[in-house]
Amino acid sequence: MSRSERLLDLVQTLRRHRLPVSARALASELGVSIRTLYRDIATLQGQGAPIEGEAGLGYVLRPGFMLPPLMFTDEEIEAIVLGSRWVAKQPDNRLSKAAADALAKIAAVLPDDLREDLDASTLLVGPRTGASEGIELAAVRQAIRDEQKLAITYSDAGGSDSERIVWPFALGFFDKVRVMVAWCEMRQDFRHFRTDRIARLDATGLRYPKRRQALLKQWRMTLEDAPQR
């Protein structure tokens, strides 16, 4: 167990106790020595954690304390690295660069031991697969954020093109394809559009009449109601 993970466990243990708890009881629960426990409490207090008490009397964590945002467990570090590396392999160039930049920012402010864990992560992502996109995925993400309609030319599986006005509200990333989830004005229903089949995409500057969270909730309900195969 890393030192940072041990400190997190100590904070969580203190949170479970409303009344002061002895150092011996804390050390036993955490599986560390009394000396290590005293040192960890001093470290947390030095970082601003409102831990009250002293040796022989017990310790209590004052309510309302929020954990420092850059203290992670080993598995949280692995999740961050794996997720960032996966996004960095996606064909959305701006999102890919943002993932690499975010990981670099996190690494820059992590404690030394956690930075070493991040750099040494052995969870790898395979090479990018699938064809390149014919459109800029950043434009889709922007339309989702702005809750604006898009005008698209879409080619179905049979190769037939159609002009659509859609209300995009989600973008799914799969190993080989990306899928835009949207309300289609032509079909008057939810539709899933593979982004590699979108030949043209134009921003309309027009807001669609529903909030994207409402559309997302309604779409999820249709999935739950769909017959199971």
Question: What are the extents of the domains in the chain?
Answer: 3-61, 74-119, 137-225
Residues in the chain: 229
User: 193 has which bridge partners?
Assistant: 180
What are the tens digits of pLDDT across the range 61-73?
887 665 555 566 7
Tens digit of pLDDT for each residue in 15-69? 888 889 999 999 998 999 999 999 999 988 888 888 998 777 899 988 766 555 5
**CATH number of 137-225, picked from 2.30.30, 1.10.150, 1.25.40, 2.60.40:** 2.30.30
Q: Over 80: is that where the pLDDT of 129 sits?
A: no
Angle between helices 3-15 and 112-119 (to 10 degrees): 120
User: Three-state DSSP class for 149?
Assistant: strand
Q: How far apart are CA 118 and CA 170, in angstroms?
A: 30
Percent of the chain's residues with pLDDT above 70: 91
DSSP string computed for 187-213:
TTEEEEEEGGGEEEEEEEEEEPSS-HH
Fold category of 3-61 in CATH: Arc Repressor Mutant, subunit A (1.10.10)
CB 171 within 8 A of CB 128: no
pLDDT > 80? residue 147: yes
Spatial CA neighbour of 223 closest among 186, 178, 170, 158: 170
